[in-house]
């Protein structure tokens, strides 16, 4: 008799814990397959420290194959689930496709950035949900301080060294706290104009910082932020975002080149295509984490609306604390469905929260005991070391080195702005030129073979020139003469490349935290349903369908070519695409991602 097949979609807090616990419970009596687009589990609570240069990226990345030796890892993203046929269709990192049969299915796909209908945010802001976004932010902040120090114009200097963070929850508060320390250390090496220093702003419509926490801890966090010079504005948010700055809801305008979007998260849109009952985008499950009517399907983490037995009528919030414990209970109940052990209902006891504010400062209330200052800092870091499933010694070593040595403020240039757009439904995977970008329309399963990342890469603006050929002082309807869409540049007549450029070679939450608990893993369309648009270029080639939604998978179109950079343009070189790949266009990292479908970004309130 063949062994039962268990497929787990997603390796965030919930999916990773499920796989690890199931491996121990089944003792090789079941085939466990983990489907995830990356080969690591990301410990999200320490991501702000990666952006601030305290920890190296691999410190917060725990190897899946190294820590789950009896679990089969399949790299890919689920793009179709056939519940009746008991199969999961996925697409691999190099475009290959495959199918995973299952006897038990665990959906733990996690969450993605939450968008709001604010003009310009989708084009000019960046989220903070994955390693690519953290690496981009570190490079971008470092670059802006260096450019500000060298700027001759005082206004430009002030704009470049102003950083706006929207969302005063756990992620936004930590990003602002660590970011202020990082830039202050950097300007000691690159002094700016007399009387000028980096300026960080933290905005939120809530009445106070960290509204989810005890008011005493909220006051502690607010006090630490203000002591570091962070401009904390509660009851205020962004009304409109542009290349040169943001318009706030209080009517004021802030000149900036940096907008970090930490407003919140929403469930992965994969579950919308299943045709099962939802609760605010989350899949409804019973107290045993089983989908009603589908005894072989379980869900946990951010995609599951789990009843809160301690508060009847409520559902457990989307936090790492719940996701981590969902995983353990889900694994026990999956094993029980196979005749191993007994099933149990999910009950949760609040263990408190911790927020790392950088240095020796933190705010915490473990077991309901409010703490602040160095004591809270010690508890916070001690908890993170205990909660991490790996890399503890390396993390502790990095903390020790950071305490005695100056940080290395350098730009690696590994992640470009266009490769980490805010509206991406795959924040853990940076976009690559020429890679097909798949999108699914909620409820229909219709798919488009469009590569917005490659297409919009050709329209990305440089540091000094807005996209689409619109200069900052020129009316929006008048294209610039040296940009695509207007007159050809004088040194590039008829679309020919510049004389000195080759034609074919372009230049180039943790338990204790309220941050989302399971990073968006596999099992999601490449972009959220509301941001999908019709293909602007390329052809569509229908393929076989799979899943209850009847999703049609499309072939990979050739990526459209981008504009040729002029000879005197910026020379921020980066990884070159293959020889047969059309040029992706200007690749200056701070530039935004422009929409090509002519639609405004729809939000999820």
> What contacts 442, CB < 8 A, 6 or more positions away?
269, 272, 273, 529, 530
Instruction: Evaluate whether 546 touches 89 at the Cβ level (below 8 Å).
Output: yes
Report pLDDT digits (tens) over 367-408.
888 888 899 999 999 999 999 999 999 999 999 999 999 888
Cα-only R_g, the chain: 24
Structure token digits, residue 133: 């976004």
Predicted local distance difference test score (pLDDT) of residue 484: 38
* Segment 215-231 mean pLDDT: 93
Q: In whole angstroms, give the CA distance from residue 568 to residue 582.
A: 21
Instruction: Evaluate whether 115 touches 166 at the Cβ level (below 8 Å).
Output: no
Pick the range with the lowest mean pLDDT from 17-26, 150-159, 281-290, 455-464. Answer: 455-464
Mode of pairing for the β-strands spanning 282-284 and 278-279: antiparallel
DSSP structure class, residue 117: -
Q: In whole angstroms, give the CA distance from residue 430 to residue 92.
A: 14
Percent of the chain with pLDDT over 90: 54
Instruction: Evaluate whether 88 touches 100 at the Cβ level (below 8 Å).
Output: yes
Structure token digits, residue 272: 């919308």
For residue 214, give Cα distances in angstroms to 219, 352, 372, 454: 9, 10, 12, 45
Ramachandran angles phi, psi of 348, nearest 5°: -130, 140
* Segment 582-593 mean pLDDT: 41
Q: Is the pLDDT of residue 286 over 60?
A: yes
Q: In whole angstroms, give the CA distance from residue 89 to residue 78.
A: 6
Predicted local distance difference test score (pLDDT) of residue 1: 54
Q: In whole angstroms, give the CA distance from residue 359 to residue 343.
A: 44
Give the DSSP per-residue string, 309-375. TTSTT-B--S-HHHHHHHHHHHHHHHHHHTTSS------------EEE-STT-EEE-GGG--EEHHH
Q: Is the pLDDT of residue 182 over 70?
A: yes
The better pLDDT of the pair 449, 68 is held by 68
Pick the range with the lowest mean pLDDT from 324-328, 334-338, 531-535. Answer: 531-535
Give the DSSP per-residue string, 134-180. HHHHHHHHHHHHHHHHH-SSHHHHHHHTEEEEE--SHHHHHHHHHHH
Euclidean distance between the first and the last CA atom of the chain, given in angstroms as a whole number: 50
Predicted local distance difference test score (pLDDT) of residue 548: 38
Mean pLDDT of the chain, nearest integer: 77
Instruction: List b or e across 500-532, with b for residues whose CB sees 16 or more CB atoms inside 10 angstroms.
Output: ebeeeebbbbbbbbbbbbbbbbbbbbbbbbbbb
Give the DSSP per-residue string, 514-559. -S-SSB--SSS-SB-GGG----SSS---EEEEETTTTEEEEPPPPP
Closest C-alpha to 326, from 562, 14, 1: 14
Instruction: Evaluate whether 258 touches 140 at the Cβ level (below 8 Å).
Output: yes
| Residue 99 pLDDT level (bands cut at 50, 70, 90) | very high
Q: Is the pLDDT of residue 110 over 50?
A: yes
| Residue 436 pLDDT level (bands cut at 50, 70, 90) | low
Instruction: Evaluate whether 78 touches 524 at the Cβ level (below 8 Å).
Output: yes
* Segment 266-273 mean pLDDT: 91
| Residue 526 pLDDT level (bands cut at 50, 70, 90) | very low
The pTM of this model reads: 0.73
* Segment 483-493 mean pLDDT: 40
| Residue 103 pLDDT level (bands cut at 50, 70, 90) | very high
| Residue 549 pLDDT level (bands cut at 50, 70, 90) | very low
> What contacts 389, CB < 8 A, 6 or more positions away?
16, 20, 41, 62, 67
| Residue 196 pLDDT level (bands cut at 50, 70, 90) | confident
Instruction: Evaluate whether 128 touches 424 at the Cβ level (below 8 Å).
Output: no
* Segment 86-93 mean pLDDT: 94
Q: Is the pLDDT of residue 231 over 70?
A: yes
Q: How many helices (H) and strands (E) does the chain have?
A: 12, 30
Mode of pairing for the β-strands spanning 61-63 and 40-42: antiparallel
Q: Is the pLDDT of residue 122 over 80?
A: yes
* Segment 332-353 mean pLDDT: 92
Handedness of CA 327, 328, 329, 334 (dihedral sign): positive
Report pLDDT digits (tens) over 165-180.
999 999 999 999 999 9
Q: In whole angstroms, give the CA distance from residue 25 to residue 334.
A: 10
Ramachandran angles phi, psi of 127, nearest 5°: -85, -170
Query: What count of residues does the chain have?
Result: 605
Secondary structure class of 93 (helix, strand, coil): coil
Residue keyed to tokens 């729809």: 602
| Residue 78 pLDDT level (bands cut at 50, 70, 90) | very high
Pick the range with the lowest mean pLDDT from 142-151, 163-172, 505-514. Answer: 505-514
Work out the number of other CB atoms within 10 angstroms of the CB of residue 468. Answer: 15
The better pLDDT of the pair 516, 310 is held by 310
| Residue 144 pLDDT level (bands cut at 50, 70, 90) | very high
Structure token digits, residue 52: 């601030």
Predicted local distance difference test score (pLDDT) of residue 534: 40
Calculate ∠ Cα 453-455-458, nearest 5°. Answer: 105
Percent helix, strand, coil in the chain, to 5, is 30, 20, 50
Secondary structure class of 425 (helix, strand, coil): coil
């Amino acid at each position: 008799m063949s062994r039962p097949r268990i497929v787990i979609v997603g390796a965030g807090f919930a999916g990773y814990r499920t796989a690890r616990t199931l491996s121990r419970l089944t003792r090789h009596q079941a085939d466990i397959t983990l489907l995830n687009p990356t080969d690591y589990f990301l410990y999200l609570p320490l991501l702000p420290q990666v952006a601030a240069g305290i920890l190296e990226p691999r410190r917060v990345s725990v190897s899946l194959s190294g820590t789950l030796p009896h679990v089969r890892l399949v790299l890919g993203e689920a793009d179709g689930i056939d519940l009746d046929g008991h199969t999961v269709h996925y697409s691999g990192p190099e475009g290959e496709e495959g199918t995973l049969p299952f006897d038990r299915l665990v959906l733990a796909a996690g969450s993605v950035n939450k968008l709001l209908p604010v003009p310009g945010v989708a084009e000019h802001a960046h989220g903070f949900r994955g390693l690519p976004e953290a690496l981009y932010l570190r490079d971008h902040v470092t670059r802006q301080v260096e450019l500000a120090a060298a700027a001759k114009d005082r206004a430009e200097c002030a704009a470049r060294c102003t950083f706006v963070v929207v969302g005063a929850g756990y992620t936004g508060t930590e990003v602002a706290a660590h970011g202020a320390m990082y830039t202050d250390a950097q300007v000691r090496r690159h002094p700016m104009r007399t009387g000028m220093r980096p300026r960080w702003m933290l905005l939120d419509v809530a009445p106070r910082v960290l509204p989810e926490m005890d008011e005493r801890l909220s006051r502690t966090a607010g006090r630490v932020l203000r002591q570091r010079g962070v401009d904390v504005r509660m009851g205020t948010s962004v009304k409109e975002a542009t290349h040169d700055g943001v318009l706030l809801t209080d009517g004021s305008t802030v000149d900036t080149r940096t907008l970090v979007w930490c407003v919140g998260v929403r469930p992965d849109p994969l579950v919308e295509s299943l045709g099962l009952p939802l609760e605010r985008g989350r899949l409804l499950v019973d107290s045993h984490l089983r989908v009603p009517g589908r005894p072989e399907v379980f869900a946990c983490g951010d995609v599951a609306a789990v009843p809160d037995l301690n508060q009847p009528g409520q559902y457990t919030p989307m936090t790492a604390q719940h996701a981590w414990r969902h995983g353990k209970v889900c694994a026990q109940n999956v094993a029980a469905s196979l005749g191993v052990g007994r099933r149990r209902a999910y009950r949760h006891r609040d263990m408190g929260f911790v927020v790392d504010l950088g240095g020796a400062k933190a705010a915490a209330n473990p077991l309901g005991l409010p703490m602040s200052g160095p004591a809270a800092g010690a508890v916070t870091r001690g908890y993170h070391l205990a909660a991490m499933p790996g890399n503890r010694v390396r993390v502790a070593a990095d903390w020790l080195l950071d305490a005695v040595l100056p940080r290395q403020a350098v730009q690696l240039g590994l992640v470009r702005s266009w490769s980490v757009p805010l509206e991406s439904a795959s924040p853990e995977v940076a976009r690559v030129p020429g890679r097909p970008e798949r999108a699914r329309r909620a409820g229909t399963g219709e798919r488009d073979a469009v590569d917005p990342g490659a297409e919009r890469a050709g329209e990305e603006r440089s540091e000094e020139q807005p996209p689409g050929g619109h200069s900052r002082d020129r009316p929006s309807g008048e294209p610039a003469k040296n940009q695509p869409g207007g007159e050809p540049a004088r040194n590039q007549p008829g679309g020919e490349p510049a004389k000195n450029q080759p034609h074919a070679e372009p230049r180039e939450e943790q338990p204790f935290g309220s941050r989302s608990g399971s990073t968006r893993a596999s099992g999601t369309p490449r972009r959220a349903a509301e941001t999908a648009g019709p293909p602007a270029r390329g052809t569509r080639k229908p393929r076989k369908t799979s899943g209850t939604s009847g999703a049609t998978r499309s072939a990979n179109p050739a990526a459209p070519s981008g504009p040729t950079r002029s000879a005197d343009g910026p020379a921020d070189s980066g990884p070159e695409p293959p020889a047969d790949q059309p040029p992706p266009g200007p690749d200056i990292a701070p530039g935004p991602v422009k929409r090509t479908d002519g639609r405004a970004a729809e939000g999820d309130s």
